[in-house]
A and B are shown apart, each in its own frame.
Chain A
Amino acid sequence: MSNKDAHWLKTRNHMFVTLVLWFFFSIVIFMFGSELNTLSFLGYPLAYYMTAQGSLLAFVIILFWCTGKQEDIDEEFGYAEREGD
């Protein structure tokens, strides 16, 4: 497998992992909204907390993690951009 293909394979897998996390926080949690609301976090009902703040925060964290990891992948295969590109 060429360097290019190996880079893309790893990039693609990273994309899938990111999207699984995204799917969990945007969809899966809210499939169980009424069950989760019986639990509480910081005094808020949990499903309310997630839709008002928690999932939003999770997306921010996922994105910073995801960009950092993708930069490592690009570096590993020698595809990171250099100054003046």
Chain B
Amino acid sequence: MFKGGFIQNLPKIYGLYTGGFAVFILLMAVAESAGVSAKNIGVMFVVFTVGIYAFIGYLSRTVQVDAYYVAGRQVPTVFNGMATAADWMSGASFVALAGGVYFGGYTYMAFLVGWTGGYVLVATLLAPYLRKFGCYTVPDFIGTRYGGNLVRACSVFVLFIASFTYVTAQINATGTIASRALGIPFELGVWIGLISILICSMLGGMRAVTWTQVAQYIVLIVAYLLPVFWISSKVGGGVFPHLMLGDEVARLGELEQQFGLVKNSAADMKAAGVPGGLKYISGPHSAVPEGGMAVWKYLSLAICMMVGTASLPHILMRYFTTPSVKSARRSVAWSLFFIFLLYSSAPMLATLSKLSLMDPNLATGIIGKSIADVQAIEWVQRWSEVKQVFIADFNGDGILQLNEFFMRGDVVVLATPEVAGLPFVISGLVFAGGMAAAMSTADGLVLAISNALSHDIYYKIIDPKADTAKRLIVARVLLVIIGAAGAYIASFRLTSILGSVAWAFDFAMSGLFFPLVLGVWWKRATREGAIAGILAGISSGLVYLLYVYPKFSVAIWGVAHDPWLGIDHLRFGMIGAPICLVTMVVVSLMTKEPDAATQKMVDDCRIPSGKAVLGKQH
């Protein structure tokens, strides 16, 4: 059945895998109708899919340096696109994005534009040139282009800050989903999540991560799209919601008018005992907020996310794995296509879910009904028990108002199938999808950090004479240490202190974007310029974050500061990146032009054909 090598057979292998997964879903549906409990179905979904990823990880084990770091540079274009999409879409994208749109409406959707538009920058400014360079890691490019250990170490530092901020959130998400699906305590869920992540990455490095990410993409996209289409046709949204929800969006506008968008005071919410992290609808769904400041806040968030996307090392390194420059460029376009499939569905899910709760004409509607009736609904009870849903009767009229219903954002994805009356097999599938999304991103991040430490710090700076076996042992030991450190922090639930996923984008943008882009596009950029730029960018960004984020500024200065020009803690890259650019240009112009060898290196990386700048083994 399988003639030729593994790579030639990829479409067949993953075709069979997808078919097998479909059969598994059907089997679960049969099991459900035969009376297997909802909880056991959830367990089977998670155990079965994670087991498959672990099996793929085991099959992809390797003792080759280039297979470990860049999957042997033989990942075909479209498959690399799928792997990047899984690498990109985190547990947060999967479970929280639709919830964000649900509560934030138009304003929140700056994230959607930011998290997709960044790929245009990746394809035009960076991916093909870094691929031609032939580096193993992102700091490997910076270290070689600018020359010297100091600049290499600086870029590893930025990579570490950005990726580590991100990875604890991912391990946290893995733990949350594992604990809910398996019915175990969160702390245990985190460590089980970590072990699953390590099994997928430790034996085969990038090669193993690549092939598990493709498998994870298939699970997560099926798990996201199937419920969206199903719910849509069930609640009368049409068979193709993306093109057919115009009336529903308009109806939401009417309902907002009817119920009124009321803001609760902090004191009221505290008195009622609303659990932390739960939100209520207080902004319009599709209306654009008026005023220049609102426009600026939207645009600055989109800019930070776009530029941050183009600087995140775990994404850029995926394009080092393709066989050619051309396929690196093409696979950026495919990545974006695969990401688009999920991101364009999130607002549709949010619309459907919001309408099914808000519209009093629908059987599922709860707003405007009597609170006693709503509290008797099964899903409301179930999610209230775990403090994910909360009802407060502020005005004491016994009727549920829009501002009296609180919910955690995640519930939109996790509970909508149930609310709309879909079988539990779909909820089990959603758990498996969330797990796949969180694991695939965590895999990519842990690998990005440990590869930079093992290749750029250990091999390039500390022990350049180390042999292959020793390098790979160090890489694996670091992988375990980084993963364990992330899980340790996640298990203490310190993630809320570490802050938002958006910070990772701002850190990467502040310290890496311009050194990377100017490294390719400006020959005059010098080592001194790059060092100064990286340090000035990351430190100014960090200082501004400390200044503007209330928790930090109260601890340091004793008072909370107002954001400057509306640049709050989600947008601090707007400070760091320009400072990085200016510093880098000024210092570069003040120092001696790079030597002829460096200039030739830049020339070589601009041309697709010919040998890579760095050797196959380096």
Contacts and interface: CB of A to CB of B under 8 A. Distances in A.
Interface of A: 4, 7-8, 11-12, 15, 18-19, 22, 25-27, 30-31, 33-34, 36-37, 40, 42-45, 47-48, 51-53, 55-57, 59-60, 62-64, 66-67, 70-71, 74, 78-82, 85
Interface in B334-348: 336-337, 340, 343-344, 347-348
Contact of A67 (B299, B330, B521): B330
Contact of A4 (B120, B340, B603): B603
Given A52-B344, A59-B336, A43 B242 contact: no
Contacts, number: 147
**Most-contacted residue by chain B among A8, A48, A52, A53 (CB, 10 A):** A52
B400 to A, nearest CB: 27
A19 B521 CA distance: 14
Contact of A59 (B120, B298, B299, B521): B120
Interface residues of B, number: 57
Interface string B100-141: 010000100110111011011101110010000000000000
Interface of B: 101, 106, 109-110, 112-114, 116-117, 119-121, 123-125, 128, 242-247, 249-250, 286-290, 295, 298-299, 302-303, 306, 324-326, 329-330, 332-333, 336-337, 340, 343-344, 347-348, 521, 603, 606-611
A79 B109 CA distance: 40
A71 B286 contact: no
Nearest to A29: B113
A64 B527 CA distance: 35
A19 B324 contact: no
Contact of B246 (A22, A25, A44): A44
7 contacts: A30-B113, A34-B288, A44-B249, A52-B112, A56-B343, A67-B332, A80-B609
Given A60-B333, A74-B608, A79-B608, A53 B242 contact: yes
B340 A85 contact: no
Contacts of B336: 59-60, 63
A63 B119 contact: yes
A43 B246 contact: yes
A4 B101 CA distance: 47
A43 B247 contact: yes
A7 B607 contact: yes
Given A33-B295, A81-B609, A82-B609, A47 B116 contact: no
B325 A81 contact: yes
B347 A30 contact: no
Contacts of B124: 15, 18-19, 22, 66
B298 A33 contact: yes
A27 B175 CA distance: 37
Contacts of A59: 116-117, 119-120, 336, 340
Given A44-B246, A45-B286, A52-B101, 7 more contacts: A7-B606, A30-B295, A43-B245, A43-B246, A52-B112, A63-B123, A74-B609
